[in-house]
Amino acid sequence: MILKNLIILILFSFTVVVSFAQRGKDGAKIVSTTEVVNAYTMLTADANAGATSITVTNSALSTNFSNPLAQGDLIMIYQVQGASVEDTIASPNINSSKFYTTWGRITNYNNAGNYELVQVASVPNTTTINLDCPLSLSYTASDRVLIIRVPRYTTLTINNGGNLTATAWNATSGGVLAVEVLGQTTINAGGKIDVTGLGFRGGTALTTSFSTVYGGLRYADANQAEGAEKGEGIAGDQSIYATFNAGGAGYCRGAAANAGGGGNAHNAGGGGGANAGNINNWNDGVGNPDISNANYITAWNLEPVLSSTTTSSGGGRGGYSILRNNRNELTEAPGNTNWGGDNRRIAGGLGGRPLDYSTGKIFMGGGGGAGDGDNAYATDGGNGGGIIFLSTYADITGAGKIIAHGANGVDINPGSAGFGQLAGGDAPGGAGGGGTIILKTTGNVTVTDSIAANGGNGGNQVLVAGVFASIDEGEGPGGGGGGGYIAISAGTPNRFANGGINGVTNSPFVSQFPPNGATMGGVGLPNETINSFDIIVNNDSTCSNSTATLNASLTGTAPSGTIIEWFDAQFNGNLVNTGTSFTTPILTANTTYWVRACPAPYLIPVTAYVVPCNFPVAALSASDSTICINDCISFTDLSIGTPTSWSWYFFGSSTPTSSQQNPTNICYPTAGTFDVALVASNSAGSDSIFMNNFITVNPLPTVVASNDTTICNGSSATISASGASSYSWDNGLGAGQSHTVNPTTTTTYVVTGTDANGCQ
């Protein structure tokens, strides 16, 4: 390795770690109010890995920006949905077994969750965007692929009262907040980055009186009389569920991937949505029982499908179906006909499934299922949390918040009831699953307030009796949302992805057990890691009509197979080299080249400066660079610019320094690899060159000859040697490891051994 430093008035050789014409192009950003900074469009044609062009609905992407999308801007491509699930409808006796909970099981993620950031090479028309780097992954346009314009700030500051957020996901835009920051990101106390409730949508409850069945058994159905609407997740929403089973599957308790199931008829609570967690512990979507009270433990242990010790990842389950009799919830199990109504059956929406993050995909939090109802009091499921994606090249710090919680299931709270009437007699929705927070940075994350993607809380039921009326029923509350996903590149801030708590009912008929079958969501994955990397370049200087050597390297952890590429222009340039260094053609003027390392979405300039050569540029050579112990070599000064003095440094030599222009007889008494340095100077300045491990000194072989031998006159003896690669004997014997000799007088034979390095 050669390291050069120009020690003159103007220093032209330096390392560049910040820049540039793309990163930071949108300047410094200060957020003091609620702001959305992204623009969204949709992919309209499939895009496969390796593609350098995509087709979109509208390539302008100018919302929240001062100019349309252009060369050097940044976009994020993110496939929202498209997972395949088991969608066979079944209607078993849901109180008697756990069968058929496989409805909604993910059979193939396909391209759902794929994402990448790419720099724009050009925007040739209103529906085409050309890309600088080829796509790393593939995307299916029919499965809702967002194209998100990402601002490129120099610094980002969020002040007290500032809220950097996104629009809510609506099937064509929103749900994702993505920002690139070249310098420091500061979130001050009272400021936040917040996408709570902006992810997958919760199921919508009926808002009018409607006749629903009793004893609804289905996990999926097209008939809303059988149960409430499921939440949205990576398998789709109502428009996509309608295509399942050739008859539709948008209602009832089955959990479609990470979406919470709707409460079954009659009046069961909605299940909580999900995002991350232990994918091997979904446990049929039953959630996590609240065991904070001894009575609760007793009640849970009456269930046939869970107990007080059950744990589950993903969303929480919705509460039981309607009861109308005041029985003892600590002695009579759910499903007993003594409860009246719909017998307080285990019919709540199942909690959504945790998703697999092991392949690098990311997801929004699943929507909670709606509560079932027939009296226009049922409520929606909560929306899942959205996605926060910060790509930064310095620290993320401050005392503010970064949050992507799932929204709570909507409470039933009518406030008042008419004369002789009971209000609130339907089931509330389940909560949304926590979202995703990705802090991809080459700096450190030192945010002191919360970084959290918790599941929302299940909806509560508040029954209100009017004058001369009483509360004579109870319904199932909503299940809690599952926790989300948080990954950072460096730092140890506090991170949380807790499951949300279940809702409760105020029905006096289950006053000892207000969860009434609703469970909490499971914990997500808050302590994950994401790799990041950056490109560092080294400018160089050279004399006119000379070449220059430019260097680049990667810092951090780049994806396997990442290659450094050199171009002669920022855009549409010619590829002139690959690798960590590039020797330019002969130059007569300052020349800038551009370095990229896909998938990094930027190019970095690196410049060769052409300077007057009235100062020296150090260079040297040696008569040999691989020698043996005690060998001596000569060095030659090859410096240009007419130096008048020289300072040589021979590490490991018996002559450690010299001021001669061309030192000779430099000897090395020990084995090893040694550096050589030269400082060449004149009245204009100095230049140094440091040759790392330039001289290799090999050890001498240890030759062992056979022992002295006594023979009779006329007899022969065999003499041999070992310890070398080849041997030379005197007395006319020549080469060979051994010889048979028959001297007539006492004779001494001398052998010289030579090893593989030529040392002897």
Distance CA 386, CA 588 (A): 54
443 and 560 assigned to the same domain:
no
Pairing of strands 436-441, 581-583: unpaired
503 and 576 assigned to the same domain:
no
Name the token pair of 354.
């945790």
Q: Are 265 and 216 in contact (CB under 8 A)?
A: yes
In the sheet with 192-194, reading across from the earlier edge strand, the strands are: 34-36, 163-165, 192-194, 401-403, 451-452, 495-496
Predicted confidence at residue 89, as pLDDT, reads 59
Domain boundary among 677, 698, 719: 698
Predicted confidence at residue 115, as pLDDT, reads 99
478 and 582 assigned to the same domain:
no
Predicted confidence at residue 1, as pLDDT, reads 27
Name the token pair of 431.
């909560």
- Supply the pTM of this predicted model: 0.80
Distance CA 392, CA 734 (A): 71
Distance CA 503, CA 263 (A): 13
516 and 547 assigned to the same domain:
no
Distance CA 726, CA 706 (A): 16
Q: Are 680 and 643 in contact (CB under 8 A)?
A: yes
247 and 232 assigned to the same domain:
yes
344 and 447 assigned to the same domain:
yes
> How many folded domains does the chain comprise?
4
Predicted confidence at residue 283, as pLDDT, reads 95
Please report how many Cα atoms fall inside a 13 Å half-sphere around the Cα of residue 625, on the Cβ side.
12
b/e string for 491-517 if b means 16 or more Cβ within 10 A? bebebbbbbbbbbbbbbebbeebbbbb
Distance CA 370, CA 368 (A): 7
182 and 284 assigned to the same domain:
yes
340, 346, 347, 348: CA torsion to nearest 10: 120
Q: 491: closest CA among 389, 396, 571?
A: 396
Beta bridge partners of 74: 119, 150
Predicted confidence at residue 753, as pLDDT, reads 80
Domain boundary among 467, 497, 530: 530
632 and 597 assigned to the same domain:
no
Q: Are 509 and 552 in contact (CB under 8 A)?
A: no
317 and 220 assigned to the same domain:
yes
494 and 597 assigned to the same domain:
no
Which residue matches tokens 């509350």? 477
Distance CA 142, CA 302 (A): 46
287 and 384 assigned to the same domain:
yes
Residue 545 belongs to a domain? yes
Of all helices (H) and strands (E), which one includes residue 464? strand 464-465
Predicted confidence at residue 525, as pLDDT, reads 99
DSSP, res 500: P
Domain boundary among 610, 643, 665: 610
492 and 546 assigned to the same domain:
no
Q: Give how far Cα 515 sits from Cα of 140, 389, 475, Å.
A: 42, 36, 10
Cis peptide bond prior to 599, omega within 30° of 0: yes
Averaged pLDDT, groups of 10, the chain, 760 residues long: 30 37 91 98 99 98 97 98 84 43 92 98 98 97 99 98 99 99 97 99 87 82 92 97 82 96 97 98 97 98 96 98 98 98 97 98 99 96 99 97 99 95 97 99 93 99 97 98 98 97 98 99 98 92 86 93 94 94 94 95 93 83 93 94 92 96 96 95 86 91 83 82 82 83 85 83
Sign of the Cα pseudo-torsion (80, 86, 89, 94, in order): negative
Residue 123 belongs to a domain? no
Q: Which CB contacts under 8 angstroms, 24+ apart, belong to 328-336?
A: 328/512, 329/299, 329/509, 329/510, 329/512, 329/513, 329/516, 330/295, 330/298, 330/299, 330/302, 330/512, 330/513, 331/302, 332/302, 333/302, 333/303, 333/304, 334/95, 334/302, 334/303, 334/517, 335/95, 335/304
Q: 257: closest CA among 165, 182, 355, 181?
A: 355
Of all helices (H) and strands (E), which one includes residue 362? none
Q: Which domain holds residue 709?
A: 704-754
Distance CA 284, CA 291 (A): 19
Q: Give how far Cα 643 sits from Cα of 13, 609, 688, Å.
A: 20, 21, 12
Residue 108 belongs to a domain? no
CATH number at residue 547: 2.60.40.10
Q: 431: closest CA among 352, 507, 525?
A: 352
Residue 44 belongs to a domain? no
Q: Are 289 and 519 in contact (CB under 8 A)?
A: yes
